[in-house]
Structure 1
Amino acid sequence: MLYRMWWRTEDVLPLAETTMAAAHRSAGRRRRPALLLTSGPDGLSLTGSPGPAGQHPTAAKARAETWVRPATAPPAPEFRVVLPLPRCRIGRHSLWRLLRKASLRRLHWISITVDPSPGGRVRYEAAASRGDVLPPGITWTPMAVICDVVGGKAFRALVADGHTSVDDGAVLARFPRYAVQLMATHLDGLRLGDMPGEHPLLRFDGDTVVVEWEHGEFGFTRRIECDRINPDANGCYAIGAYQWPWTLLPTSDDGTHQEDAATGQDQPLPPSPWPATPT
């Protein structure tokens, strides 16, 4: 079985740079700088290893942007894979060159696809947006969700049953296009009273949602793109997946249903593109 995982380029590149620098300082030693991909109960992480064969890993880690399975689901396999930096080639590029190229071209994400079976291969990719970011084959339920990143406002979404974000326990949410449009308008209104960078901004580039943050410098404000989100098979968007801590809107004291308080509650939600059977 193949496992595809996503990391932010800005998280992995400094780790690789530190590892390469440490290996360069190790004069007289056999240097094989690498990143170590480790899968365990606390998720997937990358660590640097300036020594040979993945020995002597550094303390710094980069966590994968991924989900946690329900307690009732079978546990994910644990594995440890050594990813050489200067010698593991993708076409004509090593992993080290791919990371630097991704940074220069503003490709926000690095994916690593691993076959943990003996002799299994590893594949790398740099991309502006993530694919297969949410678990397939699970049940999705219409809910209202809130998040401090969007000023605490509620929006309608489809929420994954039983699955949460690995780092903060946030729910996994997919938003229909109309909810994203309302979210973009809401965030654009917040910026009028914000300091630059206080809240993100959303805009559509065709069918792709672009996530930007404002940066103020020397009296000027510019927008910096940090992510691109493509729609899934039903036209829904995983806005802020694993980065914005979405939580369910609590039920009010009068027993109002969650959806009744959500922006765009009069709009229909699309059906789930996957079977309504938990994995």
Structure 2
Amino acid sequence: MKKLLLSSGLLRLATVLVLGLLSSCTQNLFVTKQPLPPAAALSVGADYQYRLRKDDKVTISVFDHEELSVGSIYGHYPVSENEGKWELVDAFGNLNVPKVGNYHVEGLTIAEAEAQLEKVLSKWIVNPQLVIKVLNLETTVLGEVNAPGKQRLEKERNTLVEVLGKAGDFGVYADKRHVKVMRQDAKGLLATEVNLTKMTGFERDNLVILPGDVVYVPSKNGKQFDRKSPTILGISSIISTFFIVFRFLQ
């Protein structure tokens, strides 16, 4: 009788352990119970251009005038953000330009800022050629991709698929049906969820990713189960061995 009770208790314990492992679900980030708005909520027009913001790290290149340049692209070596050869758009939206001083650039496109500064510099230089480059144009890619992390945006328009491609493509456990894109602007946090397994609406859903956006690829529900399969198989093997020995000893 005691042996029967012992075996029954162990069976119940083993069952609870296995069910616990099976029922554990994947812990994804940015989970919401409310449905997110469609991708159109984050779409930008064909005429989208980046506008300068506070805390932007900017290089200023004036052709043939190294003394007026900061991190000039006309130099012998390429300029990177880590080298510190840049000016910061300050808390007031101003950029410290050599010979000009503080000049308000916040809200201007790069082309607009270049044109305005060329006009100012034309007081001292004949036909100045000025190039502004923003060094900190980045997005963040998280989740089930092969190379997550910060990613520099080299172009004016970078699509969702291009960004995911630069992140090393999807990982094995990627849930391609629920790819999230999140954007913070003056109105607050905007977010949408895109299903990349369907061709229907692909052009609409392949969003232009802006600097500061976060792209998140969640995991499939089976990820944790697959990872715990060796443990489950091990427990099952122990249980099977126990009952074989137990029946043999009866």
- Structure ranking higher in helix proportion: 2
**TM-score class normalised by the smaller sequence:** under 0.3
Larger RCO (CA within 8 A; separation ≥ 6):
2
Larger Rg belongs to: 2
Using the size of structure 1 for normalisation, the TM-score is 0.22
